[in-house]
Amino acid sequence: MLFRRATAVGVAAVLVVLAGCTSGSSDPSPSTTAPPNPTELLTASAKAMSAVTSAHFTLTVDGELPDLTVQKAEGDLTAAGDAQGTGTIKQFGQLIEVDFVLADDKLYLKGPTGGFAQIPAALAGQVYDPSVILNPDKGISAVLSSVTGATLVSSDDTTAVVSGTVPKGVVTSLVPGLNSDVKGTFTIEQPSAELTSARFELNGADGKPATVDVQLSALNEAVTISPPS
């Protein structure tokens, strides 16, 4: 009888322990991780992008901009100011495909026919000068540092999206001819803080909404850009 009673007590104790373990495992404590601070995200991204030496870029314009004839451009660029790639520009109401090389402060363009022709680098801005994107004083790093009213749009373990207002005096380096502040939305990789995309929303030259999207990838990969032969 004593053995049976002891056994019953032991079984009861085991059941109490198991019940406690089961109850604890089914009721985990809620996460207390605070969302990231959007201003701190922009500051970290500005610092990270100021150290980037090269990138692959894509620029897409949707709408009419007064001082920008390019509709789309894609290629590679370096922080030293060299760039190469392809673009679509609007000229006399027509869309024209061009190849471009910007090297040693000289700009070379190649249209649908013929070879490359050198034009003054100072005229690059009339088409689009992508070399400014990685310029730490005028490019995307400066834009990130200038944002006011930063708001966290979304975030997870790999990506954060932040929006805010970019002053016209800063954003005109990336988007020439703007005469007002613009809304910017920035996608920032985590934990590297590197920027993968920037979207600017503004009023176009025709009074309708316009957007400019800049996508960046292949950061710091080896890029060789030489004048065309």
Give me the percent of the chain exceeding a pLDDT of 90. Answer: 54
Within-domain flag for 226: no
Average pLDDT, the chain: 84
| Rounded-to-integer distance, Cα 114 and Cα 182, Å | 39
Backbone angles phi, psi at 139, to 5 degrees: -90, -150
Q: How many residues does the chain have?
A: 229
pLDDT at 174: 86
Output the domain CATH number for residue 102.
2.50.20.20
pLDDT confidence bin for 1, thresholds 50/70/90: very low
State which amino acid sits at residue 57. Answer: F
pLDDT at 28: 52
Q: What is the pLDDT of residues 12-54, one digit of tens each?
A: 443 333 344 444 445 555 555 788 999 999 999 999 999 999 9
Within-domain flag for 203: yes
- The Cα diameter of the chain in Å comes to 106
Q: What is the pLDDT of residues 91-140, one digit of tens each?
A: 777 888 999 999 988 889 998 888 999 886 666 656 678 889 999 899 99
Nearest to 74 by CA among 92, 93, 56, 62: 56
Which of the 8 DSSP states describes residue 2? H
Within-domain flag for 18: no
Within-domain flag for 2: no
Whether 161 shows a pLDDT value over 50: the answer reads yes
pLDDT at 129: 81
pLDDT at 34: 82
Neighbouring C-beta atoms of residue 69, cutoff 10 Å: 16
Within-domain flag for 20: no
* Domains identified in the chain, total number: 1
What is the full DSSP assignment across 160-171?
Answer: EEEEEEE-HHHH
pLDDT at 29: 52
Question: What residues contact 154, with CB distance under 8 A and at least 6 apart?
Answer: 160, 161
Q: What is the pLDDT of residues 140-150, one digit of tens each?
A: 999 999 999 99
Within-domain flag for 101: yes
- Bridging pattern class, strands 106-110 and 117-120: antiparallel
Query: pTM for the whole thing?
Result: 0.82
Question: What residues contact 215, with CB distance under 8 A and at least 6 apart?
Answer: 57, 58, 59, 60, 196, 197
Q: Are 210 and 43 in contact (CB under 8 A)?
A: no
156 compared with 13, residue with greater pLDDT = 156
Cis peptide before 191 (omega within 30 of 0): yes
Task: Supply the range of the domain harboring residue 145.
Answer: 38-217
pLDDT at 42: 98
Question: What residues contact 118, with CB distance under 8 A and at least 6 apart?
Answer: 106, 107, 108
Within-domain flag for 95: yes
Give me the percent of the chain exceeding a pLDDT of 70. Answer: 83
| Rounded-to-integer distance, Cα 58 and Cα 139, Å | 15
SS3 100: strand
Write out the two tokens for 190. Answer: 């985590």
Within-domain flag for 51: yes
Whether 59 shows a pLDDT value over 80: the answer reads yes
229 compared with 85, residue with greater pLDDT = 85
pLDDT at 143: 97
Q: What b-and-e string marks burial along 16-33, b requiring 16 or more CB atoms within 10 Å of the CB?
A: eeeeeeeeeeeeeeeeee
